[in-house]
A and B are shown apart, each in its own frame.
Chain A
């Protein structure tokens, strides 16, 4: 049972344009969401997070949007840079869940020159 889904396994974007990565979840108990970036053979790097009391959080080029009614979140990267090319995972946790994270399946982003 995949509680966190990233339906696009890959995404290709031109440098300078906006990258939009999507994530859907099914567990209504999730109340904290995170995005991580991962290179092969490395651990995930934390990018940005959002609590369920908010619908938007912005940090530099990264913005995360949360639509609770649709159980959907998205990560916007603008402008996209070649160094952004990596696998992006969304993750979710539930209050009272001991901070355990449930990860999505990942989206491979490729930013082309």
Chain B
């Protein structure tokens, strides 16, 4: 139980294009999902909290117009990196809270490379 998937697992795109990453909770419903990014040899940094049916809550310093989050159902949240630039290249990981617990379960991550 508590499986979270991400798609795609890796993506390479040209500078200026937009990339959408999907995060799905496969065997449970998640009213809240989280998006993180991790730079090499660094910790996971929370970008935003995705709330089903409402606007996402962004952490300080994260541009909401650049990182668009949509949480349209209880099992799907999407992160769109708009007008991607090379500095957006990173490992993006989502997580979902198993309801009634405080434990977050993570997806396998998406490696984004912007050329």
Cβ–Cβ < 8 Å partners of A41 in chain B: 91, 109, 111
Q: Taking chain B's interface residues, is the majority helix, strand, or loop, or is none over half, making it mixed? A: strand
A31's closest neighbor in chain B, by CB?
A: B102
Interface residues on B, range: 20 to 34
Of A44-52, A57-65, A67-75, the stretch lying at the interface with chain B is: A44-52
Cβ–Cβ < 8 Å partners of B49 in chain A: 98, 100
How many residues of A are in contact with the other chain, CB < 8 A? 21
Taking the closest CB of chain A, its distance from the CB of B15, in whole angstroms, is 23
User: Known contacts A49-B102, A104-B43: does B4 contact A43 (CB below 8 Å)?
Assistant: yes
B59's closest neighbor in chain A, by CB?
A: A100
- The answer to whether B32 touches A106 (Cβ under 8 A) is no
Interface centre among B2, B91, B104 (most CB of A within 10 A): B104
- Our pick among A44, A93, A100, A106 for the contact of B106 (Cβ within 8 Å) is A44
Top 10 nearest A-B pairs (CB, nearest first) are A43-B106, A103-B43, A103-B44, A44-B106, A43-B108, A43-B109, A105-B43, A32-B102, A43-B107, A43-B93
Cβ–Cβ < 8 Å partners of B4 in chain A: 43
